[in-house]
Chain A
Amino acid sequence: MENKSIDYDAMGDTEFRAALRTWLEDVYPENWKQTPRRPLLRIRGKDARAWIKMLCEGGWRCPAWPKEYGGMELSFKKQIIYHEELERIRAGRIIDGGEQMIGPTLMAYGTDEQKRKYIEPTRTGEYLWAQGYSEPGAGSDLASLRTKAELEGDHYRINGHKIWTSHADECSHMYALVRTTVSEKKQVGITFILIDMETPGISVRPIKTVAGEDELCEVFLDDVMVPKENVVGEPDNGWTIAKALLGYERVWIGNPGPAARYLDLACELIMKDETDSSLKDELAKTICDMHDFRVLYETMCHSISPDSEIGPEFSILKIISADMLRDISELNARASGQYSQLDSDVEIDGALTNIGWQFFTARAQAIFAGSNEIQRNIVAKRVLNL
């Protein structure tokens, strides 16, 4: 499956935006769009693979990857446009660890054999990747992880327990952090390793969430034998590799899209003549917040130059995005009146929604990928020098 050859570099930003917009409007399926009923809709499993295939065929896959790996190699400016247009069409989100984490990681640290073996199937969506980082005893304090990997000949024998692993039951592979050496400094002795989910000894148990979904999983590893050539970079040096890619995650994870979908629902519920004026005033404030969040996001993104690192100040975007989801989900709950008690989709004055779903789903943003408390610690120490 080839990435259709389009010369993006020759296009101006406006032309690029128009081309992507036209394509999305032509092909993007209605039932994968985020709506007031499912403002944070995720496309997963079979659908995720189908969407990746469509992107490949349309020539829109892997916007940040270099061309030599079949990516679009877009300028950062065009990458922003790319994400803006996906948001505009209200595309469902996919957790694409392959594109965002594994591809770039292997390009930077992988062996030639690893690049050959993994990058292309990841691009085409044949391989979907789960992230095996958190453990029951290692959440915010991730470096205290204890899943053990012991070298036995050509293989590592892995024993342990990963948790909060999104979509693990639908993924073909997992990139994981495992403990290869116990040392005084807990960040040392962690190894970054690639695991085929078909390997004997792996069992996956979905976890039902407070929103009623089963997108999180536990992964149990019992004497799982993984070839030692699956280690990325040097053994014991996985912490550095895991951290290297956090910068761009900070940018994309903090985008205003999710909060904007919640605001759409708030506007549906509140923008009516008969609504109580205090709710309207609260919505008015929220619209201002959304406006300013978009401006701040654009301002920070445009400040990124090709050679500069993404600094710790970008953590604020994730904090803001989560806080806004929290606030708007609460506003929606208040504005829905008695309907908030129903455990189902409901139609409120013509707006199809699900108050519980949007409320509970909004919780996740402040917890995953470094809780808001951890993000505030980072900003306090590394930006404010406190």
Chain B
Amino acid sequence: MNPNSADVAVTHMVEASAQSILDTHHSLGNVRSPADKSNIWKEFADSGLLGLGLPEELGGAGFGARGYVQIAKLFGRELVSSPFIAQSVLPCYITARIDDGNLRDELLAYINAETKRVSFAGTEINNSIDPFSISTKLTDTGVFGEKAFVALPASAFIVTAQAGDELCLAFVESTEHGVNTDNSQNLLNEKVGRLMLDGATPKYDPLAGSDIENIVRCALDLGALVTAAQLAGVSHKAFDITLEYLRTRKQFNQSIGSFQAIQHRAVDLYIAQQFVESSIQRAAELFDEDPCSTQTQQAISCAKARASETALLMSKETIQLHGAIGFTDEADIGLYARASLCLMNQFGSTIAHQRRVYDIERARRGK
């Protein structure tokens, strides 16, 4: 279960490369107000950060969950706003697992491109974590349905749809007849929106079958796990900033961190953060061992639920522990709460994941 040292070394190199891009091209201003972030994406593409999950023979770094968790934590700490999961992690995961052919070639071209992007569109307005709980259908006359909170802009979409009893993946270009999107701005100043499909014709034969169903299930779980890791990074940084504040801010002639009422709350946040870190690490190890196992699903749902709940807890507590300054736009601490709210329900709400764990445990106990 231990990552071998070569993997760890590669992950460190990638992390360092991402960090240096962020140092140059990213600032918290990007979170405060809309900004043009296309240069960051271009740098990511040039450094090979967008194809990490592809195997080496396809030009990637063979990244699994453990590698992505490290990068996502960094993105969380730095409050990076980019559609990295929907437009890089999941397209890579799917591309690496489908048969070679025109579709795979096209996806590879998208993944490595500096400007045009492909978005994974698997979620609908019901926000279910079950890939089958979707209303989008593939019929003889095209794809019909509506996907929600799709990362935009994108020139093409990997859409999940039901074709009879089967789950299928359809590749649809944005310029195709019957494809429409609308736009909203999320709390990290990314564009997200609805993808409305009204008889859109897939560019290639859609992929279907039990293999595809497994790929989609695992992709959704990987999305949940990487989101959890990003949330963990957000919480971690917010906690560190707050600890420093508690040590330096003085009232009644002493640091406020010397008061027991404050100390005990800080300890509870520390405990919450320890829970998150180990839960995510375990889930990532299990995913890399066997992404489809019940044990992995349980671990990922636990990790996602915990990361979301901890991020919420951390958001309210770190603002409160800052006092009035925490309520201002000028202080950075509120930005971490923005990121937490933005990410917490992506790839499944807390309760949805907890219920999945309940169902697995109930089956295990034979009840």
Binding site for B on A (CB under 8 A): 267, 271-272, 280-281, 283-285, 287-288, 291-293, 295-296, 299-300, 316, 319-320, 373, 376-377, 379-381, 383-386
Q: In whole angstroms, how far apart are the Cα atoms of A376 and B199 in the complex?
A: 60
Does B5 reach chain A (CB closer than 8 Å)? no
Greatest chain B CB density within 10 A among A280, A284, A373, A381 is at A284
Known A281-B351, A380-B260; 9 more pairs at CB < 8 Å: A267-B367, A281-B354, A288-B305, A288-B353, A292-B306, A295-B282, A319-B267, A380-B263, A386-B257
Q: What 7 A-B pairs are tightest by C-beta distance, nearest first?
A: A380-B263, A284-B358, A386-B257, A284-B354, A299-B278, A271-B367, A376-B267
Q: How far is it, in angstroms, between the C-alpha of A377 and the C-alpha of B266 when the chains are bound?
A: 10
B234-277 interface code vs A (CB 8 A; 1 in, 0 out) = 00000000010011000000010110101110111011001100
Q: How far is the CB of A297 from chain B (nearest CB, A)?
A: 9
The count of chain B contact residues (Cβ–Cβ below 8 Å) is 38
Most buried by B among A291, A376, A379, A385: A291
A267-B365 CB under 8 A given contacts A292-B302, A377-B260: yes
List B contacts of A271 (CB < 8 A): 362, 365, 367
Complex Cα distance, B274 from A231, in Å, reads: 41
Contact B246 A386 (CB under 8 A): yes
Residues of B within 8 A of A288 (CB): 301-302, 305-306, 353-354, 357
- What are 10 pairs between A and B in contact, CB < 8 Å? A271-B365, A281-B351, A281-B358, A287-B361, A291-B298, A292-B306, A295-B302, A299-B281, A380-B257, A380-B260
Complex contact A281–B355 (CB within 8 A)? yes
Q: Do A319 and B365 touch across chains, with their CB atoms under 8 A apart?
A: no
Compute how far the CA of A381 lies from the CA of B353 in the bound complex, rounded to whole angstroms. 35
Shortest Cβ gap from A109 to chain B (Å):
32
The answer to whether A385 and B357 have CB atoms under 8 Å apart is no
- The secondary-structure label for the interface of chain B is helix
* Complex CA distance for A383 and B270, rounded to whole angstroms: 9
Q: Tell me the nearest residue of chain B to A283, going by C-beta.
A: B358
Residues of B within 8 A of A380 (CB): 257, 260, 263-264, 266-267
CA distance A320 to B367 in the complex (A): 28
Contact between A386 and B247, CB atoms less than 8 A apart: yes
B306 touches A379 (CB 8 A): no
Q: Would you give the shortest CB distance from A38 to chain B, in whole angstroms?
A: 20
- Tell me, rounded to whole Å, the shortest Cβ–Cβ distance linking A320 to chain B: 6
Complex: how many Å from CA A267 to CA B359?
A: 12
Our pick among B263, B358, B367 for the contact of A386 (Cβ within 8 Å) is B263
B275 touches A292 (CB 8 A): yes
- CB of B232, distance to nearest CB on chain A (Å): 12
The reply to whether A291 and B270 contact each other, CB–CB distance below 8 Å, is no
Instruction: Tell yes or no: B136 within 8 A of A by CB.
Output: no
Distance A320 CA – B278 CA, assembled complex (angstroms): 14
Instruction: Verify A295–B367 contact, CB threshold 8 A.
Output: no
Give the CA-CA distance A378 to B303 in the complex, in Å: 27
Residues of A within 8 A of B299 (CB): 291, 295
Asked whether, in the complex, the Cβ of A296 is within 8 Å of the Cβ of B361, the reply is no
**B279 interface contact, C-beta 8 A:** yes
Shortest A348–chain B CB gap in Å is 14
In the assembled complex, the Cα of A320 lies from the Cα of B306 at a distance in Å of 15
Residues of B close to A280: CB separation below 8 A: 358
**Complex formed: what's the CA distance from A292 to B308 in Å?**
14
State whether A296 and B298 are in contact (beta carbons under 8 Å apart), knowing that A291-B357, A373-B264, A377-B260 are contacts in the complex: no
Partner of B355, one of A284, A300, A319, A385: A284
- Chain A residue at smallest Cβ distance from B269: A384
Q: Output the nearest chain B residue to A297 by Cβ-Cβ distance.
A: B278
Known: A288-B301, A376-B263, A376-B264. A384 touches B270 (CB 8 A): yes
Q: How long is the Cα–Cα vector from A379 to B354 in the complex, in angstroms?
A: 29
Tell me the bound Cα distance from A70 to B355 in angstroms. Answer: 49
Question: Cα distance A284–B351 when bound, in Å?
Answer: 8
B241 CB, min distance to chain A CBs, angstroms: 13
Given the complex, which residues of B lie within 8 Å of A281, measured CB to CB? Answer: 351, 354-355, 358
The smallest C-beta distance from A273 to any residue of chain B, in angstroms, reads 10
CB proximity of A255 to chain B, nearest CB, Å: 15
Q: How far is the CB of A130 from chain B (nearest CB, A)?
A: 31
A292 lies within 8 A of B243 (CB): no
Chain A residues, Cβ within 8 Å of B302 = 288, 291-292, 295
- B281 to chain A: closest residue by CB: A299
Within 8 A of A (CB), among B133-169: none
Interface hits, B68-114 → A, CB 8 Å:
none
Once bound together, how far apart are the Cα atoms of A221 and B367, in whole Å?
54
A384–B267 contact, CB under 8 A? yes
For A385, list chain B residues within 8 Å (CB): 247
- With both chains docked as a complex, state the minimum distance between the C-beta of B31 and any C-beta of chain A, in angstroms: 27
Least CB separation from A263: chain B residue:
B361
Give chain A residues whose Cβ lies under 8 Å from the Cβ of B267: 316, 319, 376, 379-380, 384
- Given contacts A295-B279, A386-B263, whether A379 and B270 have CB atoms under 8 Å apart is yes
> Nearest A residue to B255 by beta-carbon distance?
A386
With A271-B365, A287-B361 given, is the CB distance from A316 to B271 under 8 Å? yes
- Inside 8 A of B303's CB, which chain A residues have their CB? 292
CB neighbours (8 Å) of B362 from chain A are 267, 271
Inter-chain contacts of B264 with A (CB < 8 A): 373, 376-377, 380
Could you give, for residues 335-367 of chain B, a 1 whenever the CB lies within 8 Å of some chain A CB and a 0 otherwise?
000000000000000010111011001100101
Counting chain A CB atoms within 10 Å of each CB, the highest count among B243, B258, B279 belongs to B279
The smallest beta-carbon distance between B349 and chain A, in angstroms, is: 12
Q: Would you call A384 and B243 a contact (CB within 8 A)?
A: yes
**Cα–Cα distance between A293 and B306 once the two chains are bound (Å):** 11
Across the interface, A295 reaches (CB within 8 A) one of B255, B263, B278, B301, namely B278
**Closest chain A residue, CB of each to CB of B358:** A284
Chain B, range 275-331, C-beta contacts under 8 Å to A: 275, 278-279, 281-282, 298-299, 301-303, 305-306
- If A287-B358, A288-B306, A377-B263 touch, does A386 touch B258 (CB 8 Å cutoff)? yes
Chain B contacts of A386 at CB under 8 A?
243, 246-247, 255, 257-258, 262-263, 266
Contacts of A272 on B, CB cut-off 8 Å? Answer: 367
Chain A residues within 8 Å of B243, by CB: 384, 386
In the complex with contacts A376-B264, A380-B264, A285-B354 CB distance below 8 A: yes
Chain B, Cβ-Cβ closest to A267: B365
B275–A296 CB distance below 8 A: yes
With both chains docked as a complex, state the minimum distance between the C-beta of A214 and any C-beta of chain B, in angstroms: 33
Complex Cα distance, B296 from A295, in Å, reads 13
**Given known A-B contacts A267-B365, A281-B355, A383-B270, A296 and B278 have beta carbons under 8 A apart:** yes
